[in-house]
Amino acid sequence: MNVKMLQYYLETSVYTDVGIYKDFILSLPDDIPSLGMLVCDQITHPSMYFTEPSPYLEDTYYGKFSSYPKYRFKNEDELYITAVAMIAGILRLDSTGFTKNRDVTKRITVSCRQASVLFSAILKAKGIPCRCRAGFMDFGDAGESFMEHWMNEYWDFGKSRWVLCDVDGYYEYEQRFGYSQFDLPRRKFVTASEAWLGLRKGTLHKKLDVFSTDPLESVCEYLFMDFHALMNNEIFYSYQPLYLRGGIRALSEKELCELDNLADLLAEPDENRERIEQMWAADEKLSVLTNHTQNIYYDTFR
C-alpha cells in the first residue's frame, strides 16, 4: 500500500473529525480489541427497543431496556450524525468518559453507520488509517443471509493489510465463531459493489436481507454510501444523488451501465483509486447529494 493512500485515510471529513475532543480520544486504549470493546460499551442499537428483550444481553451487557428513559428517542441517529456529536452525547450522559459496561440509560442509541463513523474518527485521530464501508453482513456464520450494514477497515501496519472490523454490538464479542469482530473473515461481508454486480448479472448466490421490496433499490443506496465513504464522505442514510430521487427503476439502461462501471471500480478500490477519484471529480450527479428536506424544497420551488 502506498504512503499517499494511507495518508488519505488519515484525513477526516465533517463526519469523522473529533474537533476539541482530540486529547480525550488520544487518552483511550491504543490496541484495537480493547478500543473496539470500549466503543461497543458506549452505544446501544435501536433494534433493541423494537424487539423482544434478550435476557442474556440485558444481564451481561446493557442493563434492563425497560429502564431507558421514555422521553428519549429509541433511535437517535438523526441527533448524532457526526463523531463530534456522538462523543459530546456520550460525555453528556456520563462525564467520567468512555466507561466499561455502561448502563443502557447512559448510552447513545445509534445504528451501524454511526458506530462505523465514530470508530473511524477515533482511529484516524490516533494515526491509524481507517475507512467506513457500507454493504451486507453475515451476522451468523453459515452465510445464510446478509443484512444491510456499515463496518470499518483499518490498516494494520504490522501485517500490511486492511482489517475488517465491526463495533456495532456483541454478536462476536466473545469470539464464539472462533474469531473476533475486530478482525473478521472477508466472507462475512458482501460489499455493495459485489451485491450490485451480482444482481445486475444474475450471479449473486447469496440472500440479501434488505428493507426495500426492491433489492436493487437498496443495493443502489449502499453502493452510493460505500462510494462516498471511500472518498472520506461518510454520508447519512437519507443522503442520495438527486437524479435517483425517482427510484432506480426510473433510470435508463445507459445510467444503469454507468453504475455498473462505478461498481466495477469499487470492487478494487485501492487498485482503481485514480479512476474513482476522476469519476468523483468529473461526474457531479454521483457526488452532489440531496436529502429528504431538500427534496421537499425542490418539489415546491422548481
pLDDT of 256 over the 90 cut:
yes
| Residue of higher predicted confidence among 73 and 132 | 132
Residue 171: is its pLDDT beyond 70? no
8, pLDDT greater than 90? yes
Burial of 206: CB neighbours in 10 Å, binned 0-12, 13-18, 19+: middle
Domains along the chain? 3-188 (3.10.620), 191-301 (no CATH)
Q: Which residue has the higher pLDDT, 85 or 62?
A: 85
Distances (CA, A) of 78 to 74, 85, 183, 222, 301: 11, 10, 29, 18, 25
pLDDT category at 48 given cuts 50, 70, 90 is confident
Q: Which residue has the higher pLDDT, 51 or 80?
A: 80
What the block records as the C-alpha cell of 148 is 444491510
Q: What is the mean pLDDT of residues 53-65?
A: 82
Residue 301 scores a pLDDT above 50: no
Banded model confidence at residue 142, pLDDT cuts 50, 70, 90: confident
The predicted pLDDT at position 146 comes to: 95
Q: Taken in order 79, 114, 215, 273, is the CA torsion positive or negative?
A: positive
- Once rounded to an integer, what is the mean pLDDT over residues 132-152? 93
**Three-class SS of the chain:** CCHHHHHHCCCCCCCCCCHHHHHHHHCCCCCHHHHHHHHHCCEECHHHHCCCCCHHHHHHHHCCHHHCCCCCCCCCCCCCCCHHHHHHHHHHHCCCCCCCCCCHHHCEECCHHHHHHHHHHHHHHCCCCEEEEEEEECCCCCCCCEEEEEEEEEEECCCCEEEEECCCCCCCCCCCCCCCCCCCCHHHEEEHHHHHHHHHHCCCCCCEECCCCCHHHHHHHHHHHHHHHHCCCCCCCCCEEHHHCCCHHHCCHHHHHHHHHHHHHHCCCCCCHHHHHHHHHHCHHHHCEECHHHHHHHHHHC
Mean pLDDT over each residue of the chain, to the nearest integer: 90
Q: Cα(293)–Cα(243) distance, rounded to whole angstroms?
A: 15
For residue 43, give the C-alpha cell: 452505544
Contact 150, 132 (CB under 8 A): yes
Q: What is the pLDDT of residue 302?
A: 45
Write out pLDDT tens, residues 188-229. 999 999 999 999 999 998 999 988 788 999 999 999 999 999
